[in-house]
Each structure stands twice: as C-alpha cells, then as structure tokens.
Amino acid sequence: MRKLKYSLSGYLRLMQISNTQLFIFAEGIDDRYIYIKLAETECRNNRIIMEIKVAKELPIKEGKRALLKFFDFLKAKSSLINDFKGKITISIFFLDKDLDDFLRIKRHSKHIIYTKTYELENYLFLYGNLAEAISASISADPNLVNEIIGNEQEWRLRAATNWKNWVKLCIYSHSRKINSDCRYSFALSKVNGGAYMGVDRDKYNRYLSEIEALSNLSHEKFLNSYKRLSKKVDKLYSEGQHDLIFKGKWYIPFLVDNINKIKERCHINQTGLVPKIYSCLRLTLNFDDNWAEHFRTPIRNLLNETGLS
C-alpha cells in the first residue's frame, strides 16, 4: 500500500490531531534508537506520549535540510509549541553539528539540539564500549580484542591524527564552498593509502593545488588562509577535541583494519560486519552517563515550560 503524501501544512495537521505530545525529529533512521533512549526517561516520568520521526518520513526528504525546512515552517506558524484545542504539542529537532560551528551557520533555538561532536556516530566511539562491541559483533574473545585495540582513547586519537591532513583539506573545501574531491561524504581519505597508512605527499600536494586553483585566491592569500585553518585544526587536536571535526563514521576503516588483525589469530564472523558493529556499539551506551544530559536537559526544560512535566 502506498504511503499518503502530505504537504507541510497537512503534516502539521496530523501532528495536532494525534495523541503524541512530544515530536522529536532526527536526521537518519539509525539515529532513532539513541534518541528514543535519551528521551524515554523524561517521557515515562511525565507520562508523555512521544514519537520520533526521521527526515525520510517528512514531506520533504532531504536529510538535515528537510529538518531545517520543517523547523522554519513550524517557527513561521508559531507551532514549535502548538496548542490545538487544549492539546499541547512540542517539537524538538536533533541535528548533527557537522561543520556548522566552523561556518557560523548553527541555528540558535531551544527546539534545536546539535550534537557536540561532528555527528552522532562520534558518541558511539566516545561513550560506547569498543572492545565489547567488537567482541560481540565478530564473536571473538574480548581479551584478544583488547590486546589488538589497546587503550580506546589513544586508539581514537591515533586514528584521527593519521587522517588529520585529510580533515584539513575537507574543512577548507567545505568552508570555502569549493567543489573539490576533498569532501566529508567520502568514506575513506584520498591522501592516505589506507586507514593506518601515512600521507601520500604527492596526492596531498595535488589536492592542495587543486583546491588553491578553485579558491580564486592569490597564491599568498591561499597559503595564509590554509595556514590559519591548519593551526585551528592542530589546536583542536592538541586539546583532545578532534571529535568536533573528525567524522565519526571515519573510525570504521580503522576498526576493520584492526579486525583483520584479529582474523589472523582466530576464526571470526564477518557477515554484515559494519552494521553489526554499529548495533553493538549502541547497546553498550550508558544513557544515564553525563554525556546524555546535553540532549536530555532541553527536553526536560521544554516539558517544564509547557506545564507537561
């Protein structure tokens, strides 16, 4: 049966006549579980009926842009908090930060909550139990996984540092709106031969020259602007803040490389490897830890403001 198509106004009408009191909007299907877990305690304690919708379920299916368009629509209609015949409906939008802070395009609203890191996947590697998740996803001895991975914080920094030059190229291209092959949308660095391989200087210099040519800046101005960007990235890394600009999904190639080393020591199950890693990492998150308050507090505040708590 085909799904009915609605306009934005029609979708708002559906929200108004539903029993749902709190609508949470997220970017991707894989985000749903985490945001449900983050919101369910507040909703359960206050007997709030909650529903989480992802971008593909909106009338305009354009990922993050769809959510922002719908946010703008609700704001223009004064419907971010909507009172329809005495029934209060609250809308909250959870968004990946991406480089919105670098570009100074972050929206400021109590109804929009950005991830602190580049994207939601970073939280899996920051606050999930990496060794347990890998052990469960490939059915391996956790002691062997611990031996291969080592200290998880050091592992993350090592991975992010190895691709730091790629990060710089991607940030510069994105921030300057340069249509180059240095983009966050790629799954792998184009200047490293592999996850743990060093930088291919010829490739790096070739991409740097390509970006310079497309920047429409003089050679001197380009070098100065790239140097400023490079220093800013180096500072974030030195402060341990690499997850602000290192894409969370980029940890996966490093994990796969580590898992290949485990495979040399024992038989493992690699069927559907990457989806299983993500699923197992989600299950190792502790939603009562401090990191969760960044997302939970805005929900609590809005419930208090509207008298639903």
Amino acid in the structure at residue 153: Q
| pLDDT at 122 exceeding the cut of 90 | yes
The 10 Å Cβ neighbour count of residue 38 is 22
Percentage, residues of the chain above pLDDT 70: 98
- Per-residue pLDDT at 309: 79
Can you read off the two tokens belonging to residue 277?
């890693």
| Residue 41 pLDDT class (50, 70, 90 cuts) | confident
Domains of the chain: 8-119+288-305 (3.40.50), 122-284 (no CATH)
Residues 37 and 287 sit within 8 Å (Cβ to Cβ): yes
- Per-residue pLDDT at 5: 63
Q: What is the value of pTM for the model shown?
A: 0.94
- Per-residue pLDDT at 4: 52
The pLDDT tens digits of the residues spanning 214-247 come to 999 999 999 999 999 999 999 999 999 999 999 9
| Cβ-based burial of 61 (10 A; exposed 0-12, middle 13-18, buried ≥19) | exposed
- Per-residue pLDDT at 75: 97
**Cβ neighbours for 241, distance < 8 A, ≥ 6 positions apart:** none
User: Is the dihedral angle over the CA atoms 139, 144, 147, 148 positive or is it negative?
Assistant: negative
Q: How many whole angstroms separate alpha carbon 309 and alpha carbon 305?
A: 8
The pLDDT tens digits of the residues spanning 194-208 come to 999 999 999 999 999
36-45, 54-63, 69-78, 276-285 — which is least confidently predicted? 54-63
What mean pLDDT do residues 61-87 have? 93
Token pair 């559907």 is found at 272
Residues 215 and 88 sit within 8 Å (Cβ to Cβ): no
The pLDDT tens digits of the residues spanning 127-144 come to 999 999 999 999 999 999
| pLDDT at 50 exceeding the cut of 60 | yes
13-17, 62-66, 171-175 — which is least confidently predicted? 62-66
Across-strand partners of 51? 23
Q: How many whole angstroms separate alpha carbon 56 and alpha carbon 29?
A: 8
Rg (CA), the chain: 22
Q: How many whole angstroms separate alpha carbon 16 and alpha carbon 253?
A: 44
Residues 247 and 98 sit within 8 Å (Cβ to Cβ): no
- Per-residue pLDDT at 2: 47
| pLDDT at 1 exceeding the cut of 70 | no
- Per-residue pLDDT at 3: 54
Q: Which residue has the higher pLDDT, 271 or 218?
A: 218
Phi and psi at residue 179, to the nearest 5°: -85, 75
Q: How many whole angstroms separate alpha carbon 75 and alpha carbon 176?
A: 29
What mean pLDDT do residues 256-270 have? 90
Helix, strand or coil for residue 91?
Answer: strand
| pLDDT at 291 exceeding the cut of 70 | yes
The 10 Å Cβ neighbour count of residue 125 is 26
Q: How many whole angstroms separate alpha carbon 242 and alpha carbon 68?
A: 26
**Cβ neighbours for 200, distance < 8 A, ≥ 6 positions apart:** 191, 192, 193
What mean pLDDT do residues 156-180 have? 97
